[in-house]
């Protein structure tokens, strides 16, 4: 009996000193846009690269202070030039969970609104029909021309040519849903915490978001060409509010993604992110020519469909992003529009057609629906 007790004590002792597996840190990569020889957009008193870095450094400190399970990394923590491709490579190499690129917006000095325009917007990867979104991306992508032999590095991509952006119309980021959720959470807080005018969650072809393999967003804090907004972003109080807003958004996104069964945080972000954006394409133009493809009720029957595409808004009939697939339907899932193809009575029937759809949309998969809603 004594030997048995000694054995039990020995085993308990081993268990008590055995290394405990640590939970994986939530890795965040913050990317202060521009830097070094690339000043970014210019204001009257300062420049974009300085504002971006100041807000980013404050954001890093706040995240490390407020979140226990976080590891925060930066693509740059000083005034130095980092090529766009290396920023994405860094995030991928560090196995980041999210990527946040921080910028300040601007418009042409020839615009009548040059010194009056204001508001924050958060972008995810994509090509929207808006000329405004494309012009913002083209301006930010111009930085690659400061790199030697940029044409080889970026495989012939010309940031000044609209034709180079056609490929983005077909691009569907595998982390689109999560990127939109993160964008909504951050945009919400830029409006509520930092008091910025709401210019909405948008899509644009930013090269820095192309190569990242995790949920990624690009934040335009406000317009540096507006002297009042420049002063706010450059001030101690303003930069702190902006960093706090992004920090709050990240925390809410992390909470939501850790507990996906709860709709409340995401619904709140959606309401604010979509609440009367100030810079918006014509609503009439958005509604015009919308396909009547909303998923229909099925009288309680289980129907299998092939989900192949997500979008922050309903697409026009014949949109190139649909790649000619017909007929298609869509449904709304917590603020994200999701597109499906076909209606099948059984999983096996849907899987048989899935192979064909995957030729155009490799990430397509089968879902189960009832009365126009996806069910688990």
Q: Answer whether 247's CB lies under 8 Å from 63's CB.
A: yes
Taking residue 138's Cβ as centre, other Cβ atoms within 10 Å add up to 19
For the chain, the domains span: 26-273, 283-375
CA dihedral (279, 281, 287, 291) positive or negative: negative
Q: Tens-of-pLDDT digits for all 376 residues of the chain?
A: 555 556 555 555 555 555 544 557 899 999 999 999 999 999 999 999 999 999 999 999 999 999 988 999 999 999 999 998 899 999 999 999 999 999 999 998 888 899 999 999 999 987 554 555 667 666 666 766 777 776 676 666 666 665 555 555 445 556 788 899 999 999 999 999 999 999 999 888 787 887 888 999 999 999 999 999 999 999 999 999 999 999 999 999 998 776 654 444 455 555 555 454 444 332 222 222 333 344 454 567 888 899 888 877 788 777 888 888 888 888 877 667 888 998 888 888 888 888 888 888 887 888 888 877 788 6
Residue 57: C-alpha distances to residues 78, 340, 350 (Å):
9, 42, 49
Contact 341, 306 (CB under 8 A): yes
Give the separation between CA 106 and CA 136, rounded to whole angstroms. 8
Measured CA angle at 222 (ends 115, 172), to 5 deg: 125
Q: Classify domain 26-273 by CATH architecture.
A: 3-Layer(aba) Sandwich (3.40)
**CA separation for the pair 317, 258 (Å, rounded):** 36
Q: Is the peptide bond before 57 cis (omega within 30 degrees of 0)?
A: no
CA distances for 351 relative to 293, 295, 298, 306, angstroms:
22, 20, 20, 8
- pTM for the full predicted model: 0.65
């Amino acid at each position: 009996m004594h030997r048995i007790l000694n054995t039990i004590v020995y085993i308990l002792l081993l268990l008590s000193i055995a290394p405990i597996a640590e939970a994986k840190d939530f890795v965040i990569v913050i990317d202060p846009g521009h830097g070094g020889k690339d000043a970014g957009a210019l204001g009257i008193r300062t420049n974009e690269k300085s504002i971006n870095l100041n807000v980013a450094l404050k954001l890093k400190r706040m995240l490390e202070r407020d979140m226990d399970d976080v590891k925060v990394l930066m693509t740059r923590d000083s005034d130095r030039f980092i090529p766009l491709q290396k920023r994405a490579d860094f995030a991928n190499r560090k196995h980041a969970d999210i990527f946040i690129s921080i910028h300040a917006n601007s418009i042409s000095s020839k615009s009548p609104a040059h010194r009056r325009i204001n508001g924050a917007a958060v972008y995810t990867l994509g090509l929207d029909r808006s000329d405004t979104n494309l012009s913002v991306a083209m301006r930010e992508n111009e930085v690659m021309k400061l790199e030697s032999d940029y044409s080889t590095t970026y495989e012939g991509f010309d940031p000044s040519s609209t034709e180079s952006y056609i490929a983005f119309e077909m691009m569907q980021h595998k982390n689109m849903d999560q990127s939109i959720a993160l964008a909504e959470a951050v945009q919400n807080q830029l409006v509520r915490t930092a008091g910025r005018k709401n210019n909405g969650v948008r899509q644009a072809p930013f090269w820095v978001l192309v190569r990242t393999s995790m949920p990624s967003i690009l934040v335009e804090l406000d317009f540096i060409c507006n002297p009042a907004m420049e002063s706010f972003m450059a001030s101690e109080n303003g930069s702190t509010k902006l960093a706090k807003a992004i920090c709050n958004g990240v925390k809410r996104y992390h909470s939501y993604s850790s507990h996906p069964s709860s709709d409340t945080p995401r619904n709140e972000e959606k309401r604010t992110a979509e609440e009367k954006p100030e810079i918006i394409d014509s609503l009439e133009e958005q509604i015009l020519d919308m396909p009547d493809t909303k998923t229909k009720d099925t009288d309680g029957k289980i129907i299998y469909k092939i989900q192949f595409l997500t979008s922050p808004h309903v697409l026009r009939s014949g949109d190139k992003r649909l790649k000619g697939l017909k007929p298609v339907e869509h449904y709304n899932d917590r603020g994200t529009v999701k597109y499906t193809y076909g209606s099948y009575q059984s999983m096996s029937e849907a899987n048989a057609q899935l192979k064909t759809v995957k030729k155009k949309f490799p990430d397509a998969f089968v879902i189960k629906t009832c009365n126009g809603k996806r069910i688990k």
